[in-house]
Each structure stands twice: as structure tokens, then as C-alpha cells.
């Protein structure tokens, strides 16, 4: 015995389709976070007067981007001049380099010299 009238059947079907669509979109949203291309954005965030992460390992030829999240300006300067230094970065400004030859690159903020970081470059 079928107790649903045609209008209720239609509403139930629309609800089921809506739920299914929302589930698919939620799943697709989760999938977007997974990087399947192998391309990796190497980001170092400057926040609370620190480089985060403090040590980053990248492959030679990959790009590295620093972004200043502090209200104070910061710079990125290679201790051994292994890469060009940045200008003073204001809030939300970015500085990008391309990792060179394998090795360890140490850097600091010339405005706040106690702020230090390390990049380890490995063969690609």
C-alpha cells in the first residue's frame, strides 16, 4: 500500500536529489585540497615575528614564497647571499625566489635579526 500522494513523492524525490547533490559537492570540495599534480606551493608565513615553518625542504627549481602576516615590515635576507634579498614586506606582501643548487640556505629578517629560518634544497 502506497501512502504518499504524487505531490509528496515528488517532494521526497527532490529532497533526495538535493541531499545527493550536496554530498557530491562536499566530497568534491574535499578532493580539491588534495594536490594530484605534484606541483607544490612552498609558502613561509611571517607571523608573530617568526618564519613558519622555520625549516623548509624543497627541490631544486621549486619556487618559495614568503608572505608577511604581521603588521610590522619584515625582510628576507640570505646569510651567505645565496639568493637576492627582499625589499621590506608590508602586511600581506609576498616575496618569491626559485630554489637554486642543493644545499642549506639560512636567512633572517634584517629589521629583526633574531628572526631566522632555513631552506634545505635537495636534488629535483
Q: Is the pTM of this model over 0.75?
A: no
Strands (E), the chain: 42-46, 51-52, 55-59, 63-68, 77-78, 94-98, 103-108, 116-122
Q: Give residue 29's domain range.
A: 1-34
Q: Do 15 and 57 belong together in one domain?
A: no
State pLDDT tens for residues 18-69: 554 444 443 333 333 333 334 457 999 999 999 999 999 999 999 999 999 9
pLDDT at 2: 54
Q: Could you tell me the CATH number of the domain that includes residue 47?
A: 2.60.40.420
Q: Tell me, what DSSP letter sits at residue 84?
A: P
Statement to judge: residues 103 and 48 lie in one domain: yes
Give the per-residue pLDDT at 38.
Answer: 42
| Pair type for strands 63-68 and 42-46 | parallel
Q: Find out whether 81 and 44 touch, Cβ atoms under 8 Å.
A: no
Q: Are residues 25 and 47 in the same domain?
A: no
State mean pLDDT over 6-13.
Answer: 65
User: In the chain, what's the furthest Cα-to-Cα distance?
Assistant: 83
Give the 3-state secondary structure percentages of the chain, helix then strand then coil, rounded to 5. Answer: 20, 30, 45
Q: Number of structural domains, the chain?
A: 2
Residues 54 and 113 reside in one and the same domain: yes
pLDDT at 110: 98
Grid cell listed for 26: 562536499
Amino acid at each position: 500500500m502506497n501512502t504518499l500522494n504524487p505531490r509528496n513523492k515528488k517532494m521526497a524525490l527532490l529532497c533526495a536529489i538535493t541531499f545527493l547533490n550536496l554530498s557530491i559537492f562536499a566530497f568534491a570540495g574535499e578532493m580539491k585540497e588534495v594536490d594530484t599534480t605534484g606541483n607544490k606551493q612552498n609558502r613561509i608565513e611571517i607571523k608573530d615575528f617568526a618564519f613558519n615553518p622555520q625549516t623548509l625542504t624543497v627541490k631544486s627549481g621549486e619556487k618559495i614564497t614568503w608572505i608577511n602576516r604581521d603588521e610590522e615590515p619584515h625582510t628576507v635576507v640570505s646569510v651567505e647571499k645565496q639568493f637576492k634579498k627582499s625589499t621590506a614586506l608590508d602586511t600581506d606582501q609576498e616575496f618569491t625566489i626559485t630554489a637554486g643548487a642543493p644545499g642549506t640556505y639560512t636567512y633572517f629578517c634584517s629589521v629583526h635579526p633574531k628572526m631566522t629560518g632555513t631552506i634545505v634544497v635537495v636534488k629535483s
